[in-house]
Amino acid sequence: MNPLINAYIQSNKDRFLDELFSLLRIPSISSSSEHQEDMLKTATFLKDKLTEAGAEKARLISTEGFPVVYAERIINPNYPTILVYGHYDVQSIEPIELWTNPPFEPIIKDGKIYARGADDDKGQMYMQIKAFELLNKNNLLKCNVKFMLEGEEEIGSPSLDNFCKENKELLKTDIILVSDTGILSMENPAITVGLRGISYFEVEVTGPNRDLHSGHYGGAVANPINILCDMITKLHDADNKITIPGFYDDVIIVTDEDKNEYAKFPFNIEEYKNEIGIPAIYGEKNFTTLERTGIRPALDVNGIWGGHIGEGSKTVIPSKAFAKISMRIVPNQKAENVALLFENYFKSLAPEAVNVKVSYFHGGNPFLSPTNTKAYIAASKAYEDVFGKKPLAYRGGGSIPIINLFEETLGAKSILMGFGLESDAIHSPNENFPVINFLKGIETITAFYNYYS
């Protein structure tokens, strides 16, 4: 390993963190219309940082939604090209009262950076920019690099499909490098080789044309909230299997070999329960926790509302009830098919006494990558150098829908070099990212560049 690299990281780490803090201070919540300007500010900040890091032609490319930050450094057209993908948007911050420190005022506490986006994905994306800077400033870059940083990942990347199609030549690459996943622990580095797909809906159940007095009408009119809850309950059976007809038809059966492989993964149920504060684990019958998140689909209600949720009581039968429902899907399920199955089945569950509207938000297919590729082998060596242990090939439960799109429209595979931990609490209050992961990430990425080129 090049001693220059460690020396550079050590002597620049305070500046790296300062810059990351500036990035974390901009509230780039893509799902909220209040933050349109912040999105642009974030994109511009990144464009400038890419230029400072040694990129050429750094610019914002507009899309139907938020702009993509693009930059490149082409040193020799005959060398391989790495395209770095990341996202500069973050999830919303509620419930705000559970943050011990304001989400957009980053601080370091017990060696961890606390802020919305500290891990997902600003912290991890910034490791990529700093690794790139390090290679440039020390004349160690031996391949071409392109950056494509989007602002709509957390809302399902609605503009990216067209963006990729329209910019195929610009985005031409040998491999796509992404830091937006995690490792099992510092002692057990891992490379994510599988992600679940997703299919996301909002449903609306309507009963009477206005909220009704629940004494005058109670018992004689269908209550949309009661009905919605009943419909949701019917989506799982007693074994916690999803009841949508045909839902499992395309799911690849888990072989005993797969099961044995999974059983070898370091996983401690007690620690898992303690970490998230649950009294017992729960899920589909006959599968382990890691199988349930890695190789089995899931259906969850992400939010539910309706009626009186303010202070005190109000005796009312609401006119409407709503829920946001998403499914995580696995190879070989297709988001499109699953969406259709869900919509038909959900509507069929409604009694005549209500009307149901089902709106599709977004979807993406699952991802599975081989481990015998040049990129995987280079990444594996890089983790082994820095973490002192060969990484495990891990299938995660989250989704990054555009990874599939890249393969389809750009014809390029992705390597997922993430450094997050479960305890980073992404999408939750008090999101954090250990400084050591940030620094080791930079080191591992530079090692990957070296092996890959």
- Chain residues binding Mn ion by CB under 5 A are 120-121, 180
Selection from ligand BES, Mn ion, none that 42 binds (CB < 5 to 8 A by kind) is none
**Residue window 387-406: x/- pattern of binding to ligand BES, with contact defined by CB under 6 A:** ---------x-xxxx-----
- Nearest distance from C-beta of residue 405 to ligand BES, angstroms: 12
d(CA 355, CA 353): 7
Number of Cβ within 10 Å of residue 254's Cβ equals 16
Site for ligand BES, residues 409 to 428, rule: CB under 6 A: 420
- For 153, which DSSP code? G
Selection from Mn ion, ligand BES, none that 244 binds (CB < 5 to 8 A by kind) is none
Going 438 to 444 to 447 to 448, the CA torsion angle's sign is negative
Number of Cβ within 10 Å of residue 277's Cβ equals 6
- Under rule CB under 6 A, residue 154 binds ligand BES: yes
- Nearest distance from C-beta of residue 451 to ligand BES, angstroms: 23
Selection from Mn ion, ligand BES, none that 241 binds (CB < 5 to 8 A by kind) is none
- Nearest distance from C-beta of residue 109 to ligand BES, angstroms: 22
**Residue window 22-51: x/- pattern of binding to ligand BES, with contact defined by CB under 6 A:** ------------------------------
Give the DSSP H or E segment for 332: none
- Under rule CB under 6 A, residue 156 binds ligand BES: yes
- Under rule CB under 6 A, residue 181 binds ligand BES: yes
- Nearest distance from C-beta of residue 12 to ligand BES, angstroms: 26
Helix, strand and coil content of the chain, in percent to the nearest 5, comes to: 35, 25, 40
- Angle between helices 435-452 and 374-387 in degrees, nearest 10: 140
First-to-last C-alpha distance (Å) of the chain: 15
- Nearest distance from C-beta of residue 27 to ligand BES, angstroms: 16
**Strand extents, DSSP E, 88-132:** 107-109, 112-114
d(CA 284, CA 412): 35
- Residues making contact with ligand BES (CB under 6 A): 120-121, 153-154, 156, 180-182, 192, 195, 198, 362, 396, 398-401, 420
